Amino acid sequence: MPELPEVETVRRVLAQELSGRRITSLVVRRPTFYRPPPPSSLHGLIGKTVTTFSRRGKFLSLVAGARSLVLHLGMSGRLVLTNRPAGNRTIKHCRFEIGFEGKTLRFFDTRRFGRVGGPLPKFGPEPTAKDLTPDYLRTTLKGRTASIKALLMDQGVIAGLGNIYATEALFRSGIHPSRPAGKIKPLELEKLRNAILFVIKEGIRLRGSTLNDEAFLDPYGNPGAFQKHVAIYGRKEGACGHTLSKTKRPIASRSAVYCPSCQK
Ligand SMILES: [Zn+2]
């Protein structure tokens, strides 16, 4: 699933390419794909000029003056920029097209977990030094019995982390993914917070992760490079040289990879 660094990579491309362009058309190919407002009300965007694209957690918003349209990539959605005009030609897995002067943005979604429209959910802080403070983590995780990995991936706790970046941050801070969040010591929490800031920053710098099973591509069709720098995610042997293990009990419905020597 695209996480914060992948969505931020998309946002930067779209903000650069589409800000200042007028919206000329909207082609809705699959009405069931949309959350309220209904597709017909999206047409109020036609004729408006794009101010920018914003991001909160893993959600993008197209901002056009006072109006905005939420875009969420879901499990494997992809936004593709093309110079071809939007039209009525059927394109496989293309759910939605927005035409701009000189550009078209296409939303492809094979697995249909993506969405267009609807309100933004409630989020925890963004993983930035200013917002994700050690104090915030201490007070939020205090007394919580859920595993630290599950809570890192809970968007109401921190916005934007998913399996890849949570796995990497836990490895870098030496914390076992199954540990009850409330039992993690203040010094470890500080390490964890710094590791989160680091992996997210690296993910953005490297323009996201493109893994075999979750092939993220930016709107130009370019892959990211973070997967070449992962310490444990998707690996059998960690960057530390140890053989990795997986938790028997799934966390957020998947078994979690960790290093039995480095993560306590
Ligand atoms: Zn290790």
Task: Identify the CATH number of the domain in which residue 153 sits.
Answer: 1.10.8.50
- 207 belongs to a structural domain: yes
User: Is residue 68 a contact partner of residue 88, using CB atoms and an 8 Å limit?
Assistant: no
From ligand 1's centre to the CA of 234, what distance in Å?
Answer: 14
99 pLDDT higher than 70? yes
192 pLDDT higher than 60? yes
From ligand 1's centre to the CA of 239, what distance in Å?
Answer: 7
- Within this chain, do residues 169 and 250 fall inside the same structural domain, yes or no? yes
- What is the per-residue pLDDT for 155? 97
135 pLDDT higher than 60? yes
Model confidence, pTM: 0.95
Task: Give residue 37's pLDDT band: very low, low, confident or very high (50, 70, 90).
Answer: low
Active site residue 58: yes
- What is the per-residue pLDDT for 30? 72
The whole domain housing 156 covers 134-258
DSSP state of 97: E
Cα 221 to Cα 80: distance, rounded to the nearest angstrom:
7
Cα 80 to Cα 23: distance, rounded to the nearest angstrom:
16
From ligand 1's centre to the CA of 257, what distance in Å?
Answer: 11
From 2, 127, 177, 219, the catalytic residue? 2
From 89, 254, 260, 264, the catalytic residue? 254
From ligand 1's centre to the CA of 236, what distance in Å?
Answer: 11
90 pLDDT higher than 90? no
- Within this chain, do residues 106 and 163 fall inside the same structural domain, yes or no? no
258 pLDDT higher than 90? yes
Active site residue 17: no
From ligand 1's centre to the CA of 129, what distance in Å?
Answer: 27
- 160 belongs to a structural domain: yes
Report pLDDT digits (tens) over 100-114: 999 999 999 887 778
User: Is residue 61 a contact partner of residue 143, using CB atoms and an 8 Å limit?
Assistant: no
86 pLDDT higher than 90? no
From ligand 1's centre to the CA of 180, what distance in Å?
Answer: 21
Element of type H or E holding 13: helix 4-18
- 13 belongs to a structural domain: yes
31 pLDDT higher than 90? no
Residue 31 sits in a domain whose CATH number is 3.20.190.10
Active site residue 201: no
Compute the residue count for the chain.
264
- Within this chain, do residues 182 and 96 fall inside the same structural domain, yes or no? no
Average pLDDT in the chain: 92
- If one counts the domains in the chain, the total is 2
- What is the per-residue pLDDT for 38? 65
- What is the per-residue pLDDT for 203? 98
- What is the per-residue pLDDT for 156? 97
- 187 belongs to a structural domain: yes
- What is the per-residue pLDDT for 36? 62
Q: Quickly tell me which residue has 């190919």 as its tokens.
A: 29
Task: Give residue 32's pLDDT band: very low, low, confident or very high (50, 70, 90).
Answer: low
Tell me the one-letter amino acid at 121. P
From ligand 1's centre to the CA of 172, what distance in Å?
Answer: 10
- What is the per-residue pLDDT for 34? 67
Active site residue 228: no
- Within this chain, do residues 112 and 138 fall inside the same structural domain, yes or no? no
- Within this chain, do residues 226 and 112 fall inside the same structural domain, yes or no? no
In this structure, of 87-91, 188-192, 207-211, 222-226, the range with the lowest mean pLDDT score is 87-91
From 6, 8, 55, 58, the catalytic residue? 58
Q: How far is CA 100 from CA 26, 89, 151, 191, in A?
A: 9, 17, 39, 45
* Ligand 1 is an ion; residues with CB less than 5 A from it: 238, 240, 242, 259, 261-262
Report pLDDT digits (tens) over 201-246: 999 999 999 987 558 999 999 999 999 999 999 999 999 999 999 9
**How many C-beta neighbours within 10 Å does residue 165 have?**
29
